[in-house]
Structure 1
Amino acid sequence: MKKFIGISILVLLAGFSQVNAQSTTSKVGTDVKDGAVKAGNKTAEVASKGKAAVTDQVYKDKVGPNGETIYIDKHSKYYWIDKKGHKVPIEKDKLIIKK
């Protein structure tokens, strides 16, 4: 009977450690996915800003609502680049004077 109880406790402990390992593996997988998304967004942002700096003019006297660099395209449209690399159009009257 003592051997049975001892083996049962050993099996239960092994089961708990396996469940813990699976949750840790899941968390690591989620962390890797989140890191990949962040790296992709930053890469897109840097690439978009680089392209905009080469092809479009930078508005030197004004900035966006949160201090973003403002670009002017060939159609005289104003925009800034967000953290995901997208062009965000902005009206000229919403620009802030650069300090």
Structure 2
Amino acid sequence: MKKFIGISILALLVGFFSANAQDTAKNVTTKVKESAVKVGDKTAELASKGKNAITDKVYKDKEGPNGETIYIDKHSKYYWIDKKGHKVPISKNKLISKQ
């Protein structure tokens, strides 16, 4: 009987630690994926800003509603770069003078 109780307790402990290890592995995997997405977004943002600073004009007297740098493309369209590296068009009347 003592052996049966000992084996049962051992089986419960192994099952508990196994489940705990799986949860830890899932948490680590999730955090790695989230970090990879953040790094990818920041890389895309910096690459887009660098490319657009060279190919398009920077509007030095105006800025976006949240202080974004405004670019002017070859078709005289105004836009700014978001955190994922995408061009976000903005109308001229929404631009704010720099202080």
Query: Do Structure 1 and Structure 2 share a fold, with TM-score over 0.5?
Result: yes
CA distance in 1 between partners of 2:96 and 2:28 (Å): 43
CA distance in 2 between partners of 1:39 and 1:22 (Å): 26
Secondary structure of 2:74's match?
Answer: coil
Shift of 1:95: 0.3
CA distance in 2 between partners of 1:31 and 1:90 (Å): 34
Match of 1:29 in 2: 29
Secondary structure of 1:71's match?
Answer: strand
The CA deviation string for residues 30-83 of structure 1, in whole angstroms up to 9 with x for no partner, is 111111111111110000000010001111111001100000011110000000
Match of 1:42 in 2: 42
Structure 2 alignment gaps of length 5 or more: none
Shift of 1:27: 0.9
Secondary structure of 2:11's match?
Answer: helix
Secondary structure of 2:88's match?
Answer: strand
Match of 2:9 in 1: 9
Write the letter of the residue equivalent to 2:61: D
Match of 1:69 in 2: 69
Percent same amino acid among aligned pairs?
A: 76
For normalisation by structure 1, the TM-score amounts to 0.97
Moved over 3 A (4+): none
Match of 1:91 in 2: 91
CA distance in 1 between partners of 2:3 and 2:55 (Å): 78
CA distance in 2 between partners of 1:75 and 1:11 (Å): 71
TM-align CA RMSD: 0.6
Aligned residues: 99
For normalisation by structure 2, the TM-score amounts to 0.97
Structure 1 alignment gaps of length 5 or more: none
Match of 1:19 in 2: 19
